[in-house]
Amino acid sequence: MGWLDLKGRIFLVALAVLAGGAVALNLSLPESSALHVPNYMVGLIGKYLCFALLALSVDLVWGFAGILSLGHGAFFALGGYAMGMHLMRQIGERGVYGHPVLPDFMVFLDWKELPWYWHGFDSAWFALPMCLAVPGALAFLFGWLTFRSRVTGVYLSIISQAMTFALMLAFFRNDMGFGGNNGLTDFKDLFGHDLKGAGMRAGLLLASAAALAGGYLLCRWMTVGKFGRVLVAVRDAEQRTRFLGYRPEHYKILVFTVSAMMAGAAGALYVPQVGIINPSEFSPANSIEIVIWVAVGGRGTLIGAALGAVLVNYAKTFLTGAAPEMWLFVLGGLFIAVTLFVPKGVLGEIASLRVRWQARRGSDG
Amino acid sequence: MVEHPSVSNAALYLDAVTVSFDGFKALNRLGLYLEPGELRAVIGPNGAGKSTMMDVITGKTRPDEGQVLLHGRHDLTRLDEAAIAGLGIGRKFQRPTVFEAHSVFENLELACRADRRARWTLFARLSSDRRQRIEEVLEVIALRDRADDRAGLLSHGQKQWLEIGMLLVQDPSILLIDEPAAGMTDAETMRTASLLKRIAGGDRSVIVVEHDMEFVRALDCRVTALHEGAMLAEGTLDAVSANEAVIEVYLGR
Ligand SMILES: Nc1ncnc2c1ncn2[C@@H]1O[C@H](COP(=O)(O)OP(=O)(O)OP(=O)(O)O)[C@@H](O)[C@H]1O
Ligand SMILES: [Mg+2]
């Protein structure tokens, strides 16, 4: 695998060690042990890994194809809702109202039967592919409408933001059939195993790590070869690629759709770990936050984007505990600081430092 | 020169092409006949419509009226940029545009003939004969020892050459070259002229737009003078420069 460089291997090994280590220390050691990884920490790491995958998906379109999507939160949320629907149907008769088929909120709204689009979600064989297919289909449609009309730059960003906003409003409505305001929650189990069980928690963490690794390999494979060079060419000089005979819109639609499916996978893994999905996941601010993770970590570096997601979310977890009202200011300040002082992001900056250092050493020696 | 050669023999044939921008006619019933293998210089004052003519040929701008035929067969006014490029028309922009983040070699690789479709590009491998073609072109454009440098680091003149090289690796049948000598030293300008003379010929026709008269003289080819979107004169450089109307346009005001 010549396309997987040293950095990539280190990243994958570190990821395996982190996930495997956390799970092992959580399951094998007694709670009294100093090295025991507490349950909440397992959940937290799993959540971070989902965010890292989400960041990766944004970096693929923004860092390489120059598509600044401010709507990727929507793809994440759709993946999450698809998973949430499966989890809802898994509750079965154990809901508050004990209805054999209808989820609680439908009984509460006095619905008599399951809406057609809820059918099939009781089966994991249907629901899991939907976690990718629904965001993928929306992204394809979005790309078909915008990229083919040659919408680029700020206009595209605004439209993507409008898309997630519109979806948020739609999902807030009770008659949409997705639980309105409250979203989907009170999940019981997945694949017949209790969601709150230790094994499930560990399994979800490992699955998130595997998804992140898979997502990274996919992004790396797509960007390291000629396809990736065409993407960068489109990013930097779209007109030129047309006159060379490329159709940039096809490249963009493809990469945007793949990216949305990655975001959907992240959402689908996220929901069982946090136990809820509601329309606030569609909020425009969420999508902007993802872009900030990528900017902090280093646009176009993939690994940087993943690290950025973890870094910023760690800071967020820490700060929302200490001073929650400060978070948005900190996030905004962070974005400005990064844009001004570390425009290439943490990883991008390290890489260029290394190049400069090597150049200096080369000229000395 | 035959006065009314048949349309189907023309490498490129423009007839009564009109382009208006909000009522302003950038091209006004422009006609052009380019023979296979011909090298043609197009001159004209700023705003004469030279770049717009290239935009029409390459599909960037759709004409309001008129006909644009490639090899007497393909109606270019119905095709998009990528399709026209696929038919073998290469274009160098007035402002050099290369992919600055990529190396010189990679720039040429992206320009190489290959299936341009996204799903095939994912699995693309650089074949050894393409690699060899790139090496040849690197030699021609004198950038062999810069092959691994980022294109963004090249000088203005070198970028112009790289862009010409990106056209050459495609083996196009028609090259449209907009102001190649801009930003070049005198020596580079003369080398560019001789390069273009070498490129044209056989089945390959070249249209060069240029302001620099020394350069046009060095090209030693048929010259078309444009003015206000229409052809003013055509012939040898000496004949065109002696033309009353041309003198009027260039010196009269
Ligand atoms: N997209 C456009 N919209 C409006 N006007 C345009 C557009 N493109 C070109 N024009 C106008 O059409 C006229 C011809 O422009 P063109 O660029 O073809 O000239 P040119 O002969 O290439 O000049 P130069 O020597 O300065 O490159 C100019 O007056 C220009 O302002
Ligand atoms: Mg021009």
**CATH code: domain of residue A223:** 1.10.3470
What dihedral angle (degrees, nearest 10) is formed by the CA atoms of B25, B27, B31, B37? 180
Query: What is the residue-wise DSSP string for A10-27?
Result: HHHHHHHHHHHHHHHHHH
Q: Which residue of B has its CA nearest to A245?
A: B82
Contact criterion met (CB below 8 Å) for A25 and A35: yes
Give the total number of structural domains in chain A: 1
CB contact under 8 A, A247 and B82: yes
Write out pLDDT tens, residues B191-236.
Answer: 899 999 998 988 899 999 998 888 999 999 999 999 999 999 999 9
Cα A276 to Cα A81, A271, B122, B190, B206, distances in angstroms: 9, 6, 37, 71, 65
Q: Is the pLDDT of residue A13 over 90?
A: yes
Tokens of A52: 């890292």
The answer as to whether B210 is a domain residue is yes
Q: How far is B54 from chain A (nearest CA, A)?
A: 11
The answer as to whether A180 is a domain residue is yes
The answer as to whether A317 is a domain residue is yes
- Give the model's pLDDT for residue A329: 87
3-class state of residue A206 by DSSP: helix
- Give the model's pLDDT for residue B249: 83
Residue A362 — pLDDT band, cuts 50, 70, 90?
low
Give the total number of structural domains in chain B: 1
Contact criterion met (CB below 8 Å) for B162 and B130: no
End-to-end CA distance of chain A: 33
Q: Is the pLDDT of residue A115 over 70?
A: yes
Which atom of ligand 1 lies closest to the CA of B45?
25
Whether A245 and chain B come into contact, CB under 8 Å, resolves to yes
Residue A25: count other Cβ atoms within 10 Å of its Cβ: 16
Q: Residues with beta carbon inside 6 Å of ligand 1?
A: B 21, 26, 44, 46-52, 94
**Scanning the structure block, which residue is given the tokens 């069980």?**
A197
The rounded mean pLDDT for chain A is 92
Residue A64: count other Cβ atoms within 10 Å of its Cβ: 25
Q: Report the residue from A226, A227, A236 with minimal CB separation from B99.
A: A236
Q: How far is B145 from chain A (nearest CA, A)?
A: 18
Residue B5: count other Cβ atoms within 10 Å of its Cβ: 12
The span from the CA of A345 to the CA of A361, in Å, is 24
- Give the model's pLDDT for residue B4: 52
- Give the model's pLDDT for residue A363: 64
Which residues in B37-70 are b (16+ Cβ under 10 Å) and which e?
ebbbbbbbeeebbbbbbbbbbbbbbebeebebbb
Domain range holding A14?
A: 6-364
Q: Is the pLDDT of residue A54 over 90?
A: yes
Tokens of B68: 């644009």
* Residue A105 one-letter amino acid: F
Tokens of B247: 């003198």
CB contact under 8 A, A237 and B98: yes
The span from the CA of A74 to the CA of A164, in Å, is 5
Cα A344 to Cα A16, A304, B102, distances in angstroms: 27, 10, 17
Q: Is the pLDDT of residue B3 over 70?
A: no
Q: How far is B3 from chain A (nearest CA, A)?
A: 32
The most confident of A125-129, A187-191, B178-182, by mean pLDDT: A125-129
CB contact under 8 A, A226 and B110: yes
Contact criterion met (CB below 8 Å) for B89 and B128: no
Mean pLDDT, to the nearest integer, of A248-256?
A: 97
**CATH code: domain of residue B26:** 3.40.50.300
Higher pLDDT: A280 or A321? It is: A280
Q: Which residues are within 8 A (CB) of A253 and not within 5 positions of it... i.e. 6 or more apart?
A: A140, A143, A144, A147, A148
Residue B194: count other Cβ atoms within 10 Å of its Cβ: 11
The answer as to whether A1 is a domain residue is no
3-class state of residue A188 by DSSP: coil
The span from the CA of A4 to the CA of A302, in Å, is 12
The span from the CA of B168 to the CA of B106, in Å, is 14
Mean pLDDT, to the nearest integer, of A95-121?
A: 91
- ipTM of the modeled complex: 0.88
Cα within 13 Å of Cα(B203), Cβ side:
7
The span from the CA of B233 to the CA of B42, in Å, is 10
Percent helix, percent strand, percent coil in chain B, to nearest 5: 40, 25, 35
Residue A249: count other Cβ atoms within 10 Å of its Cβ: 21
Share of chain A above pLDDT 90, in %: 72
Mean pLDDT, to the nearest integer, of A24-41?
A: 88
The span from the CA of B64 to the CA of B77, in Å, is 10
The answer as to whether B1 is a domain residue is no
Contacting residues of B for A222, CB less than 8 Å apart: 122
Domain range holding B184?
A: 7-251
Q: Which residue of B has its CA nearest to A242?
A: B82
Contacting residues of A for B119, CB less than 8 Å apart: 254
Q: Considering only CB atoms, which residues of chain B are within 8 Å of chain A? A: 58, 60, 80-82, 85-86, 90-91, 93, 97-102, 106, 109-111, 116-119, 121-122, 124, 126, 166, 170
The answer as to whether A344 is a domain residue is yes
Q: Which residues are close to ligand 2, an ion, with C-beta < 5 A?
A: B 50-51, 94
Q: Is the pLDDT of residue A261 over 50?
A: yes
- Give the model's pLDDT for residue B1: 41
Share of chain A above pLDDT 70, in %: 98
Mean pLDDT, to the nearest integer, of A209-225?
A: 96
Contact criterion met (CB below 8 Å) for B169 and B133: yes
- Give the model's pLDDT for residue B8: 77
Q: Report the residue from B98, B111, B121 with minimal CB separation from A227.
A: B121
The span from the CA of A226 to the CA of A102, in Å, is 50
Which of the listed residues B51, B58, B94, B178 should we mutate to test ligand 1's pocket, taking the one with most ligand atoms within 8 A of CB? B51
